[in-house]
Amino acid sequence: MHHKQAWIPLIIICFFLVFPFQVTSIALASERLAQEKLSSLSVPDTTTGFLPSVVSSNGSLSIIRKYYAVLVGINDYPGIGHDLPYSVNQINAFKNTLLKGGNWRESNIQSLTNQNATASGILSAIAGLASKEDRNDLSIIYLVGHGGHNATNECFIAYDKGICDEELATAVDHFEGYLVIIIDSCYSGGFIEELQGKKRIIMTACSKNESTYQYDELHSGFFGYFLNLTLEKFTKTTEATFLLACPLTIRYSQQLSDELGGNYTVHPRVFDGTLGLMKLINRHQYLTPFLGKIFVEPFFKSYSRVSPRNIWRH
């Protein structure tokens, strides 16, 4: 009897040691499945998201991949009543995740915020990025701010004026390498039709007919928060990150709508024009064992004391 009781604490300890790894394995399942699929294909490495980042020691031909990013966040718009509170915080959090992930150098990440994020400044930064990268490199363009649309076009509202989907499509046509474009603004899903292409992944915070929001509870937009949380804690590739962040975003926004009595539900969208997986980071700084606190707690908090005035529409 005493021997059986002695096993109980050991079983409990083993459960808490193994459980986080089991959940992390589920989060990364899409990555492993894709790797197995790729291993059965006779496709050169240069066509997939798994490119070597160092030259091999035996002198054989290898590829050096560089990582670049242009991150745009706008809090302060000209005039009164148009500001957003957390755009800059959102891109700064994402930048920190990239830097901790092992592939990224701070000198290769350009951030444009507020009055520096003019339409010409953003397009100039994208052009500069296109001039540096080559066919093996990976680049990210991340835009967080207001969005608008008309009968034919969607646009991202820069500090001074809008950048329509056709303008952005023209700017990114000069990229030869792998490109991830993330747009967190109202109606951002409408950008996908213009921006889609080979070697590109396009992720948007909502569909083409939806608004999206920033919220005090998150200090971020809905999708931006879960995108960064997922990449920081659990996933390494773009595809797996979206696959986990998307349902979390939808679930969170639905519950918030129920709690506050409004319609704040968003449905992130993605286009994937790559073969294989596009790896963004190589490592996580730490593995959080209290996964329930990270993922479950935000969904079941009470928002009854929070007014809708704490939600900002993009």
Tell whether the model's pLDDT for residue 51 goes beyond 60.
no
Say which DSSP state 162 is in: E
Task: Identify whether 143 is part of a domain.
Answer: yes
Distance of CA 222 to the CA centre of its chain: 11
89-133 pLDDT per residue, tens: 999 999 999 999 989 999 999 999 999 999 999 999 999 999 999
57 domain-assigned = no
Question: pLDDT of 230-258, one tens digit each?
Answer: 999 999 999 999 999 999 999 999 999 99
pLDDT of 59: 45
Q: Answer yes or no: is 186 within a domain.
A: yes
Would 53 be classed as within a structural domain? Answer: no
Give the CATH number for residue 74: 3.40.50.1460
Q: Which residues contact 235 (CB under 8 A, 6 or more apart)?
A: 27, 28, 31, 241, 244
pLDDT band at 150 (very low <50, low <70, confident <90, very high): confident
Domain span at 96:
64-313
Asked if residue 19 belongs to a domain, the reply is no
> What three-state secondary structure class fits 215?
strand
Q: What is the pTM for the complete model shown?
A: 0.78
Write down the H helix ranges in 173-221. 192-195
Percentage of the chain lying above the pLDDT 90 cut:
60
If pLDDT is split at 50, 70 and 90, which confidence band does 160 have?
Answer: very high
- 121 has which bridge partners? none
Mean pLDDT over 276-291 rounds to 71
3-state secondary structure of 258: helix
Would residue 308 count as lying in a domain?
Answer: yes
- Decide if 72 is inside a domain: yes
Structural domain includes residue 178: yes
Per-residue pLDDT band at 313 (split at 50, 70, 90)? low
Query: Domain tally for the chain?
Result: 1
